[in-house]
């Protein structure tokens, strides 16, 4: 489905679920549908079309509105929603320790798909130290999420847990497949709208983001977004770049793979786009950490101009540039070099000993020698 084929009604865009239904599940069972009440359709399989068990029917909205809530929910699912037992194409749900995120996922399910919270089942995992509070924990979760207690699986006890982990899920091959197809189809519109890029990032960061503060200054040192597979990290990087947020080189240590973000300019843009707002604790840490940065001394674009001037003299390392400009090498990289590189004004050169040299490009020289270069350098794009 191409972008121009999305439906428009009352000034809003929708996707017709019927148009994206696959002909059959991987099992070979043919997928059928019929209209039911309240603008919903019931999706089911032809029991006689192939051997094996039959996926249970599911009722959802036929027309799903393309809005920010939809992308926020897909972002949550992109992170913690695909870790549920059963796999991405067999389960629709979410797993986390923070009930506010579960509530947001349930809002996404209700408003976007027409799926009520009472249709979900709950699986809880707790550490041994909380066994004596098990009934209290289950009742609280049932009340907070509006999911009946009879929908709960038997709670598991695991030594490695420090906090209760709550899984909410609907086991459905049909719904899992539809959600994954929907996500792939929406990529055609996602990168045409910065608000949608921000929305899906909110969900991904809420579930996979981590904020690290300096121990002494209590300001943000780095923000990481976990992603084991390179294609997932590349997808996250592409979203960030749409918002003019320039990530560093990925962390690739086994078991710690993540997109890495540093630099006050990047953090300010993350604040402007409210990328940390869904997770209450992460939002609190982010707001605390960004307040502890020192007041910037240079005008917007001034540091980049100084870097260009120094590189016009000869290639230099970021450590050399930092020493000359009395800024940290990390600041030089994130506040100037990565932005200038994206603009095509500087490029990476050979290594000098163990450090990489950076050098100005012909385009960079032209900007430097033009009228009012500072004005041209104020943009990050």
| Nearest residue to 164 via CA among 97, 84, 101 | 97
Radius of gyration of the chain, Cα coordinates, nearest whole angstrom: 25
Helix or strand or coil: residue 21?
coil
**Total residue length of the chain:** 381
CATH code of 272's domain: 3.10.28.10
Kindly list the distances between the CA atom of residue 326 and the CA atoms of 63, 126, 143, 354, in Å, as whole numbers in the listed order.
57, 50, 55, 21
Q: Give me the domain span that covers residue 220.
A: 191-291
Looking at the structure, do residues 148 and 9 belong to the same domain, yes or no?
yes
For residue 353, how many other CB atoms are within 10 A of its CB?
A: 6
- The tokens of 250 are what? 């990925």
Instruction: Determine contact, residues 311/359, Cβ cutoff 8 Å.
Output: yes
- The tokens of 191 are what? 């990168």
Residue 2 pLDDT exceeds 60: no
* Residue, of 54 and 225, whose pLDDT is higher: 225
Looking at the structure, do residues 122 and 71 belong to the same domain, yes or no?
yes
Instruction: Determine contact, residues 161/167, Cβ cutoff 8 Å.
Output: no
357, part of any domain: yes
Rounded to 5, what percent of the chain is helix, strand, coil? Answer: 45, 20, 35
Instruction: Determine contact, residues 322/329, Cβ cutoff 8 Å.
Output: yes
Looking at the structure, do residues 274 and 139 belong to the same domain, yes or no?
no
271, part of any domain: yes
296, part of any domain: no
91, part of any domain: yes
pLDDT band at residue 220 using 50, 70 and 90 as cut-offs: very high
Distance CA 279, CA 202 (A): 9
pLDDT given at position 20: 92
φ/ψ bin of 122: left (φ > 0), alpha (ψ from -120 to 50), beta (otherwise): beta
Looking at the structure, do residues 28 and 60 belong to the same domain, yes or no?
yes
The domain boundary, picked from 139, 169, 187, lies at 187
Which residues are 94's β-sheet partners?
168
Looking at the structure, do residues 209 and 287 belong to the same domain, yes or no?
yes
Residue 118 pLDDT exceeds 80: yes
- The tokens of 236 are what? 């996250």
Instruction: Determine contact, residues 154/173, Cβ cutoff 8 Å.
Output: no
Looking at the structure, do residues 274 and 203 belong to the same domain, yes or no?
yes
Helix (H) or strand (E) holding 312, with range, is helix 302-313
297, part of any domain: no
Residue 86 pLDDT exceeds 60: no
Looking at the structure, do residues 134 and 21 belong to the same domain, yes or no?
yes
In which residue are the tokens 């506040």 written? 335
Instruction: Determine contact, residues 134/142, Cβ cutoff 8 Å.
Output: no
pLDDT mean across residues, the chain:
89
Distance CA 181, CA 82 (A): 14
For residue 42, how many other CB atoms are within 10 A of its CB?
A: 14
Looking at the structure, do residues 108 and 248 belong to the same domain, yes or no?
no
Summarised one tens digit per residue, pLDDT across range 279-326 is 999 999 999 999 888 655 455 678 899 999 999 999 999 999 999 988
In which residue are the tokens 């981590």 written? 210
Q: Which residues contact 284 (CB under 8 A, 6 or more apart)?
A: none
Residue 247 pLDDT exceeds 50: yes
332, part of any domain: yes
Looking at the structure, do residues 226 and 309 belong to the same domain, yes or no?
no
Helix or strand or coil: residue 126?
strand
Give percent of the chain above pLDDT 70.
93
102, part of any domain: yes
| Nearest residue to 270 via CA among 205, 342, 331, 192 | 205
Looking at the structure, do residues 251 and 150 belong to the same domain, yes or no?
no
- The tokens of 73 are what? 């929910």
Looking at the structure, do residues 175 and 222 belong to the same domain, yes or no?
no
pLDDT band at residue 60 using 50, 70 and 90 as cut-offs: very high
Domain count, the chain: 3
Distance CA 100, CA 81 (A): 15
Distance CA 181, CA 22 (A): 9
Helix (H) or strand (E) holding 250, with range, is none
Distance CA 372, CA 48 (A): 73
CATH code of 342's domain: 1.10.10.10
Once rounded to an integer, what is the mean pLDDT over residues 264-290?
94
129, part of any domain: yes
Q: What φ, ψ does residue 167 adopt, rounded to 5°?
A: -105, 130
Looking at the structure, do residues 84 and 159 belong to the same domain, yes or no?
yes
Which residues are 258's β-sheet partners?
226, 251
Distance CA 197, CA 239 (A): 6
pLDDT given at position 1: 41
């Amino acid at each position: 489905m191409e972008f121009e084929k999305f439906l428009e009604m009352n000034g809003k865009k929708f996707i017709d679920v019927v148009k994206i239904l696959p002909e059959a599940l991987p099992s070979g069972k043919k997928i059928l549908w019929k209209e039911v009440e309240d603008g919903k359709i019931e999706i089911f399989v032809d029991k006689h079309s192939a051997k094996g068990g039959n996926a249970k029917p599911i009722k959802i909205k036929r027309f799903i509105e393309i809005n920010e809530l939809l992308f926020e929910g897909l972002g949550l699912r992109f992170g913690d929603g695909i870790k549920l037992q059963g796999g991405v194409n067999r389960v629709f749900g979410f797993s986390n320790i923070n009930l506010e995120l579960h509530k947001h996922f349930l809002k996404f399910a209700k408003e976007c798909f027409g799926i009520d919270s009472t249709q979900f089942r709950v699986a809880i995992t707790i550490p041994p130290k909380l066994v004596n509070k098990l009934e209290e924990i289950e009742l609280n979760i049932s009340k907070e999420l509006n999911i009946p207690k009879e929908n709960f699986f038997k709670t598991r006890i695991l030594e490695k847990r420090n906090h209760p982990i709550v899984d909410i899920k609907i086991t459905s091959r049909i719904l899992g497949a539809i959600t994954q197809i929907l996500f792939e189809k929406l990529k055609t519109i996602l990168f045409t709208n910065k608000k949608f890029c921000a929305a899906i990032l909110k969900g991904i960061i809420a579930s996979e983001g981590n904020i690290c503060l300096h121990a002494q200054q209590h300001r943000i040192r780095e923000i990481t977004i976990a992603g084991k597979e390179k294609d997932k990290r590349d997808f996250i990087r592409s979203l960030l770049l749409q918002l003019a947020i320039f990530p560093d080189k990925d962390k690739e240590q086994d078991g710690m793979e993540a997109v890495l973000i540093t630099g006050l300019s990047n953090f300010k843009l993350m604040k402007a786009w409210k990328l940390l707002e869904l997770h209450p604790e992460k939002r609190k840490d982010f707001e605390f950490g960004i307040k502890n940065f020192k007041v910037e001394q240079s005008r917007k674009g001034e540091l980049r101009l100084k870097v260009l001037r120094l590189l016009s003299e000869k290639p230099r390392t970021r450590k050399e540039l930092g020493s000359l400009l009395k800024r940290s090498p990390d600041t030089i990289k994130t506040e100037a070099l990565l932005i200038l590189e994206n603009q095509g004004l500087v490029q990476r050169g050979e290594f000098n000993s163990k450090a990489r040299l950076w050098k100005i490009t012909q385009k960079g020289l032209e900007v430097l020698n033009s009228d009012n270069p500072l004005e041209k350098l104020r943009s990050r794009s």
